[in-house]
Amino acid sequence: MDTQQFREFGKAMVDYIADYLDNIRERQVLPSVNPGYLQTMIPKEVPQSGENWKEIMHDIEKIIMPGITHWHSPNFHAYCPTANSYPGIVGEMLSAGIGCVGFSWVSSPACTELEVAMMNWLGKLLGLPEEFLNCSDGPGGGIIQGSASESTLIALLTAKEKKVREIRTKNPHLTEADIKGKLVAYSSDQANSSVEKSGLLGSMPMRLLTADNTGSLSGTTLMEAVRKDKEDGFIPCYVVATLGTTGTCAFDNVEELGLVCKEEGIWLHIDAAYAGSAFVCPEYRHLMKGVEYADSFDFNPHKWMLVNSDCSAMWVKDARYLVEAFNVDRIYLKHQHEGFAPDYRHWQISLGRRFRALKLWFVLRSYGVEGIQQHIRSQIALANYFEDLVKSDSRFEVATSNMGLVCFRLKGPDVLTQTLLDRLTDRKNIYVIPCYYRGQYVIRFVVCSRFTEIKDIDYGWNEICEVSTQILENGLNKENFGFVAILEEEKTIGSLQISSQKCRKRKNQDMLMERIK
C-alpha cells in the first residue's frame, strides 16, 4: 500500500467511523451470531498476494459488524462504560503514525515528557494530594498503564518486594521464600475479579472480606481480619480499596481502611477504575476521603473519561519502590533519582510502550475541564432520571443508585427479575447484566454511551416495562424451572462473571428437563 492509497483508505475509514457512530442507535446492540460464525466466512489461510484496501473495507460491514456488541450504542447498559471520543480516536491515530517505543527517556523523549505532564494535569483535575504528582518535590508520580488489572498487580508486586525487604532488614536469617509464603492481601468481596486475579498471579492469598450491607468495606472488618491473620502467623502486606465497585458502584471507607494500613504498615492501593472519573466534579470528592493514606491510586480514563482504551492512570506516592521491584538493571538505580525524567519501563510489566499520552492530551484539550465535568454530570443525571422512572412504577424496586449505575428488580421472587433479564437479552434491544445485592438478584442499568439521551433512557425503560408486563400478566412458563438452581450457583460469583451465564443456563435447563422427564 503506497502513501496515496493510505490517504484514500484512511479518509474512507474516518468517514466509516463517523457514519458508524452517527448511526449507531439504528444497530441492534447485541449481535445475533453463534460461536464460530466468523470462521466460515473467511479463508483458512493468509492470501498469497496482497489485496486492495477496498476489498478489506467491504468486509467490515459483511464480516465484522454482524459480530459486534455495540458498546457505544445508547442502548448498551451493561458492565461499565468504555471510553470513545473523536479526539481520543485521532490521538490513537497519531500514536500509530509516529509509532515510537517509549521504554526510556532517550527512546523518544516526547513520549515520556508528555506522559509526565498529562499525569500531572490529570492528578490536579481529580484533586489528588500533591505528593502523588511528578511535579511535586517528592518521589511520587503517575504513569499510564494498560488496565486497572495491571495496576493492581503492579502495586501488589511492589508491596510484596517492599515488605520482604523490610522484614529481611530486621530479620536477616529469614529467607525470601519464608517471608513470601506468609504474606497476605485483603480486599472486599465486592471488588472486581481482577483484584482476586492479582493475588492469584502474584502468589499472595487475597482475602475477600465481607462488605457491609451497602457494599462497602469498613475499617473494623479489615482490622479484625488482620488481627486474626497475625495471630495465625501470616504477614499482612497489601490492601485494595475499591471506589465504585463493579456490581453496585459502592465505595469502600478509604479513611478507615487507610488508618488500619498506616498502623499496620500495609500498602494501600485504591482501585477507582470506573468512579474515579467523577472526582473531576468537586461535589463527589468526599467519596475519596482518606485518599492521602493510599500508597497507590488507579482509575481508568478509558472507562468514563472519554479517552479510548487503553489508558489506565496510576499514581504512586514513592516511585522508588516501583523501580526497586521492577528494575532489572539495578546498577543504574543511583542515577535515576538525580533529576532525570522517569524511565517508565521500570514502572510497568512490559519493556515496550506506546505513546498513549497523546490521546489523553487530545481529549483533555478538546473537552477542557468544563466539558469533562459536563459529561460526568449529564451521565449521572440520566441515571437519576432512570431511577425516578423505576421508582414511579410500583411493580419495581430500586436496590441501589450510584453514579451512572442503577440496580433494580421486579418485586417478588428472584425468578421474575431473572426472567426479565433473560427475555431482554433474547430480544437484543437493550443490553443489561445482573448482579446480586443483599442476596437478591438485581439488574444493573448503566449509562454507558456518550450518545445516550433522555429518549434512549425512555426507550430502555419502555422495553423493560413491556417485557415485565408480559411476564407478570402471562406468568412464567416451564422454561423458567431451571433458574433457581442456577441462581444459587451464581451467588458465589461476581457480577462481571455472569456474562456467559446464558450458555450455562441452557445446559442446566437441558439437565433439569432431563430429570423432569
Residue 473: CB minimum distance to a second copy, A: 30
* Cis, bond preceding 393 (omega within 30 deg of 0): no
- Closest CB to a second copy among residues 177, 516: 177
Phi, psi (rounded to 5 degrees) for 478: -55, -35
How far apart CA 460 and CA 465 sit, in angstroms, is 9
**Degrees, nearest 5: CA angle 207-249-193:** 40
Looking at residue 329, what DSSP letter applies?
Answer: -
- All three cell numbers of 33: 451470531
- Closest CB to a second copy among residues 77, 293: 77
Residue 262: CB minimum distance to a second copy, A: 26
- Closest CB to a second copy among residues 21, 410: 21
- Closest CB to a second copy among residues 20, 459: 20
CB 345 within 8 Å of CB 98 = no
User: How far from 489 is each of 79, 188, 419, 441, 476, CA to CA, in Å?
Assistant: 20, 20, 16, 12, 21
- Closest CB to a second copy among residues 32, 213: 32
Count of CB atoms within 10 A of residue 140's CB? 23
- Closest CB to a second copy among residues 104, 253: 104
**Degrees, nearest 5: CA angle 66-67-69:** 110
How far apart CA 486 and CA 507 sit, in angstroms, is 10
Residue 179: CB minimum distance to a second copy, A: 10
CB 383 within 8 Å of CB 406 = yes
- Closest CB to a second copy among residues 194, 218: 194
- Closest CB to a second copy among residues 195, 407: 195
- Closest CB to a second copy among residues 193, 378: 193
DSSP 12-68: HHHHHHHHHHHTGGGS-SS----TTGGGGTS-SS--SS---HHHHHHHIIIIIGGG-
Secondary structure of 363-423 as H, E, C letters: HHHHHHHHHHHHHHHHHHHHHHHHHHHHHCCCCEEEEEEECCEEEEEECCCHHHHHHHHHH
Nearest to 329 by CA among 312, 343, 316: 343
How far apart CA 449 and CA 494 sit, in angstroms, is 23
- Closest CB to a second copy among residues 97, 265: 97
- Closest CB to a second copy among residues 116, 260: 116
Sheet of strand 296-299: strand arrangement: 141-145, 312-316, 296-299, 267-271, 235-242, 183-188, 206-209
Residue 310: CB minimum distance to a second copy, A: 6
How far apart CA 80 and CA 415 sit, in angstroms, is 24
- Closest CB to a second copy among residues 325, 471: 325
CB 320 within 8 Å of CB 337 = yes
Q: Where are the alpha helices (DSSP H) in 202-300?
A: 219-231, 254-264
Residue 396: CB minimum distance to a second copy, A: 26
For the chain, the C-alpha Rg in angstroms (whole number) is 25
The SS3 call for residue 72 is: coil
Residue 200: CB minimum distance to a second copy, A: 6
Sequence-distant (6+) residues with CB within 8 A of 296 are 151, 155, 158, 267, 268, 269, 270, 314, 315, 316, 317
CB 300 within 8 Å of CB 313 = yes
Residue 357: CB minimum distance to a second copy, A: 10
Residue 470: CB minimum distance to a second copy, A: 24
- Closest CB to a second copy among residues 86, 481: 86
CB 425 within 8 Å of CB 415 = no
